[in-house]
Each structure stands twice: as structure tokens, then as C-alpha cells.
Amino acid sequence: MRHFLEVDDLNLDELQQVLELSTKPDLPKVLDGQGVALIFEKPSGRTRNSMEMATVQLGGHPMYVKPEELGIDTRETAEDVVRTMAGYHSVLAARVFDHDRLERMAATNAMPIVNLLSDVAHPMQALADLLTIEQEIGLTRVGKVAYVGDANNVWRSLAIGCSMLGIETSVASPAGHGPNADDLERIVTHGSAVQVTDDPHEAVNEADVVYTDVWTSMGQESEKADRLDAFSRFTVDSALMTTANPSSIFMHCLPAHRGEEVTDEVIESAQSKVFPQAHNRMHSARGLLSWIIGETTNHGQ
């Protein structure tokens, strides 16, 4: 039984397989007659739509389940929810506030669990990010991937995926919002260097990819005023982009808070690949679902 809670739940060979599957529009209908349960504790545009359409493309039936109907850990335990859902669906994919809830769901081993974003990780986003870098630059040709802003869920999954593929990264964050020692150890363990700084220009210097995300993630709304203040030097603007390689691309998981972490000018520039990146969410979701169903079927679980 395989789960996908963080990018390094896959080994390098499996990550490359998933990325290869993601390039194929007409995969076998491995979900024919089967359900994929989609649970969202937080709002979503890209993730819900891309997962639903990827499921349909694989012949399956996506079912959006409101968390208040399930009452996870209020009406019944997360474990009992999963063991019940396993009788109706082939995959349970969930967006949660607390990553530990996903770990508990996966520990039942009743069905494959896929992380659709937690406080800790956003691995489905990272798959689309890597697919986009492959299409725009080439995963074997890309130099430094620079991340400017909060060392959050999106950063962590991207940095792990890059490190696994031999891609050097940098991260620039204000004090108190940078990576912790465990994050850095986990990233470098996969083989690639990570440059940590509080200077956006240093991080972006000669980068091939400049990536940012919101300063206030879902669930952190009460910290918004403090965060606006802390991150005020970390806007990706045209001046910062001139520090990167001239052929560099700009990426953002979206939704963007224009005027905060990125200017209109940058996100609307020719360097910006944010919409191909968003559209790749569907292709990489199809690749991941196809792989995880293949694993479940091949191993008779």
C-alpha cells in the first residue's frame, strides 16, 4: 500500500516514472468504475478541479466530500472514516490543516492516501512544478531554483523534489520564517545543496527559476498584519528579476496576492509561467493517480 504525503514518499526512480506518466494524455483507464474521494478542509480552485478532471480522464468518478459531513475526529475518528471510504473508493485525497491527520489516515493502510496540501507539505503542487521546469527549461539543464518568501508547505515539497533530481535550490526568508534544521537536513540528504539567506537578491542571483508563494497561508490569517510587515522586503519585482539569469522563468503555485509577494508586472511578464504551471496540476495529478493505482494493482493490495 503506497501513500503520497510528501514528494520523498517516492524514490527517485518512482518520481521520474510519475513525471513521465504526467506527460501522457491518454493513459489506460485504470480508474474505470472506481471512485476517488476528495476531502477539503480549506478552499481550493486548482487542486479540486485538477484532481476531479484527472480522475475522469482515468475513467474514474471523483467524489467531493464536505469535511463537515464526514465530521473527521468529531463524528467519528479519521481512521474509521478511511476504513469506511476504502469500501467505496480506490484513493482518498485530502487537504487538511494538520499533517498528522494524513499520517493517521495513511497508518490504517486501508487505501492509498494522497496529500492535497497540509500545513507541512504540498507534494501534488511540487509534481506540477517539476513538470513545468522540465517543459520550460529541462530538469537536467536547470541550474538554481530560487524561492523567495515563506519557507512553507509549497517551498518544502519543491525543495525536496528538486534535491532528489539533483537541482540546487536557494531560499530567502525573513528571520523567523526560514527553514528549520530538520527541513534542511531532509533536503540535503537527497543529494543537492540548498543556499539559505535573508537576502532575496543573493538567493535569486543567477537563478533559472524564481518562485514565490503567499506570505500568509490558509490557517495563518490572524498573523497577516505581522507577516505583511516581516515580508515587506521580499516582493518579487522586476528589479529582483534582473538579478536572475536573463532566460529565467517566474513561478507561483497560485493563488497570488498581487502587490504583496509578486508585482503585477512580474506575474504578467513573458517570464511568468504561472498558468502553464497551474494547468500542469491536472497532468501531474493524472500521472500520480495512474502510478498509485498501478502500485496498488501490481502488488495485489
Where on the chain is the footprint of ligand NVA (CB under 6 A)?
117, 152-154, 213-214, 217-218, 253
List binders of ligand CP among 117-136 (CB under 6 A). 117, 125
Neighbours of 68 (CB within 10 A): 10
Question: Based on CB atoms, which residue is closest to ligand NVA, 30 or 160?
Answer: 160
Which of 86, 165, 125, 98 minimizes the C-alpha distance to 254? 125
Contact status: 44 vs ligand CP (CB under 6 A)? yes
Of 146, 108, 112, 106, the closest CA to residue 129 belongs to 146
Pick the closer one to ligand CP by CB: 108 or 125. 125
Residue nearer to ligand NVA on the CB measure, 56 or 254:
254
Helical spans, DSSP H, in the chain: 12-22, 46-57, 67-70, 78-85, 99-107, 123-136, 153-164, 181-189, 200-204, 224-230, 238-241, 264-267, 274-298
Please give the full DSSP string across 47-77, using - where no structure is assigned: HHHHHHHHHHHTT-EEEEE-HHHHTBTTTB-
Interacting partner of 9 out of ligand NVA, ligand CP, none (Cβ under 5 to 8 A depending on kind):
none
213 binds, among ligand NVA, ligand CP, none (CB under 5 to 8 A by kind): ligand NVA
Instruction: Pick one of 254, 258, 276, 295: the residue that binds ligand CP (CB under 6 A).
Output: 254
- Closest to ligand CP by CB, 110 vs 262, is 262
Site string for ligand CP, 186-225 (x = CB under 6 A): ----------------------------------------
Q: DSSP class of residue 4?
A: B
Residue 166 C-alpha from the chain's centroid = 18
- In one letter, which amino acid is 135? Q
* Interface residue with ligand CP, options 11, 12, 45, 224 (CB under 6 A): 45
Asked if 153 is part of the footprint of ligand CP (rule: CB under 6 A), the reply reads no
* Terminal CA-CA length for the chain: 6
Smallest distance from ligand CP to CB 205, Å:
27
Residue 119 CB coordination number (10 Å): 18
What are the grid coordinates assigned to 190, written together? 537527497
Nearer to ligand CP among residue 117 and residue 121 (C-beta): 117
The answer to whether 47 contacts ligand CP (rule: CB under 6 A) is yes
Residue nearest to ligand NVA (CB): 217
CB 117 within 8 Å of CB 254:
no
Q: Among residues 255 and 294, whose Cβ is nearest to ligand CP?
A: 255
Instruction: Note the residues at the interface with ligand CP (CB under 6 A).
Output: 44-47, 117, 125, 253-255
